[in-house]
């Protein structure tokens, strides 16, 4: 794993026009992904995790106001257009939560899979189909030639998501943006898709930004995990340390709120209130302050900056003082 980042997002702030008003959806998001690295991006509704992926893949609406920079392989991607943008997107592939919403239901799977190779790379149809069949075998679909002739409705959700992964990898990308790719699948199919992604990544050195609401899934499958709240990153941490040594009260609260498969809690430690979107967050103070069990005056005085701590990053004004105490959450 090289140290120079493959993807470098710095100070990314995005505002969208909604009914004439400019609403912030991302606020000062900074994040790196190194070659071959898997980074989890975790958050609840409205946290901005999907919007971050869309910004990286240049899929934001035309009138979005974007500040900050996104660099891929050292080059700024904000000005890319036409063939350059297509080339960039072949390097940064994306898979989504609901594969059925991203395929044309009346076209055969083979047409969908080979389209980019044929139209953007000029690969002859027969050769494109051979490559598609090979890639399907790599995601565990053995009868690829037959599958290419099928329509999406003839496949289960898990099968179709494997097809989407194979399609995304056909152009030989260096980064996979995976936006909740297993959320709609049952647990055994999720395990299988995660296993396929892990083995493909081992084989090809593919880096991954894995977007999920599931802190446990990110912690179990990614090298590092970034936690988002209200359009900001509040913590970045080696995944192995997330549960035992969290740096932000929100990360600790998120972990504590989940039921434990190994024991029944008398009561779950629910976080009061509901998750806020970036544009709902109170101005000039910590966005998590209204729900935080550790809130003090200092948290309301200003938006906390990012502090380096124990090899990770936290956006908590009390991060240093709270470190090591966040596990003993109130009520526990």
Among 1, 20, 203, 264, which residue sits at the site for other proteins (rule: CB under 8 A)? 264
Query: C-beta of 35: minimal distance to other proteins in Å?
Result: 23
Sign, CA dihedral 319-228-57-107, equals positive
Which is nearest to 289 in space by CA: 250, 241, 260, 251?
250
CB-based contacts of 232: which residues, under 8 Å, 6+ apart? Answer: 26, 27, 28, 29, 48, 278, 287, 315
* Binding span for other proteins by CB under 8 A among 5-13, 115-123, 253-261, 308-316: 253-261
Q: Could you tell me where the DSSP H helices lie in 61-156?
A: 82-91, 109-121, 125-138, 144-148
Q: By CB under 8 A, tell whether 190 contacts other proteins.
A: yes
Are 72 and 140 in contact by the 8 Å Cβ rule? The answer is no
Q: Map tokens 């974007």 to a residue.
A: 66
Our finding on whether 83 is near other proteins (CB under 8 A) is no
Which two three-digit tokens encode residue 14? 């995005």
User: With respect to other proteins, which residue has the nearer C-beta, 111 or 192?
Assistant: 192
Applying CB under 8 A, among 108, 213, 300, 323 the residue interacting with other proteins is 213
- Supply 245's token pair: 């040594």
**Residue 199 interacting with other proteins (CB under 8 A):** yes
User: Which residues are CB-contacts of 20 (< 8 A; sequence separation ≥ 6)?
Assistant: none
Angle between helices 157-169 and 187-204 (to 10 degrees): 10
Which of 25, 92, 211, 219 binds other proteins (CB under 8 A)? It is 219
- Residues 266-285 binding other proteins (CB under 8 A) are 267-271, 274-275
Task: State the number of binding residues for other proteins (CB under 8 A).
Answer: 48
Closest CA relative to residue 159, chosen from 183, 135, 185: 185
- Confirm or reject binding of residue 36 to other proteins (CB under 8 A): no
The contact pattern for other proteins, residues 121-150, with x = CB under 8 A and - = no contact, is -------------------x----------
Q: Considering the rule CB under 8 A, would residue 18 count as an interface residue with other proteins?
A: no
Closest CB 190 distance from other proteins, rounded Å = 7
Instruction: Note the residues at the interface with other proteins (CB under 8 A).
Output: 44-45, 140, 156-158, 185-192, 194-196, 198-199, 213-217, 219-221, 240, 243, 253-254, 257-265, 267-271, 274-275, 291
């Amino acid at each position: 794993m090289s140290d120079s980042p493959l993807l470098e997002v710095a100070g990314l702030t995005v505002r969208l026009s909604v009914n004439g008003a400019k609403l912030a959806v991302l606020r000062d998001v900074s994040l790196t992904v190194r070659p071959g690295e898997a980074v989890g991006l975790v958050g609840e509704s409205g946290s901005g995790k999907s919007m971050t992926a869309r910004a990286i893949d240049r899929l934001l609406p035309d009138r979005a106001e974007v500040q900050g920079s996104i660099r891929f392989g050292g080059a700024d991607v904000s000005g890319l257009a036409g063939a350059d943008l297509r080339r960039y997107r072949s390097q940064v592939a994306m898979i989504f939560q609901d594969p059925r919403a991203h395929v044309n239901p009346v076209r055969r799977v083979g047409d969908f899979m080979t389209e980019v190779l044929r139209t953007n790379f000029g690969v002859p149809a027969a050769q494109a189909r051979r490559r598609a069949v090979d890639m399907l075998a790599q995601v565990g679909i053995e009868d690829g030639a037959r599958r290419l002739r099928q329509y999406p409705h003839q496949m289960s959700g898990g099968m179709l998501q494997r097809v989407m992964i194979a399609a995304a990898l056909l152009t030989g990308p260096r980064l996979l943006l995976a936006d909740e790719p297993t959320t709609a699948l049952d647990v055994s199919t999720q395990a299988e898709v995660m296993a396929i992604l892990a083995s493909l990544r081992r084989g090809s050195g593919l880096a991954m930004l894995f977007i999920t609401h599931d802190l446990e899934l990110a912690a179990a499958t990614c090298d590092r995990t970034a936690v988002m709240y209200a359009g900001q990153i509040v913590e970045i941490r080696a995944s192995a340390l997330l549960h035992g040594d969290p740096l932000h009260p929100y990360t600790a609260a998120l972990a504590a709120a989940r039921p434990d498969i190994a024991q029944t809690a008398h009561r779950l430690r629910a976080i009061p209130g509901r998750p806020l979107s970036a544009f709902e967050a109170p101005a000039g103070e910590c966005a998590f302050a209204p729900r935080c069990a550790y809130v003090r005056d200092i948290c309301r005085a200003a938006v906390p900056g990012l502090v380096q701590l124990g090899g990770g990053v936290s956006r908590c004004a009390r991060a240093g003082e709270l470190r090591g105490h966040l596990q003993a959450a109130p009520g526990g």
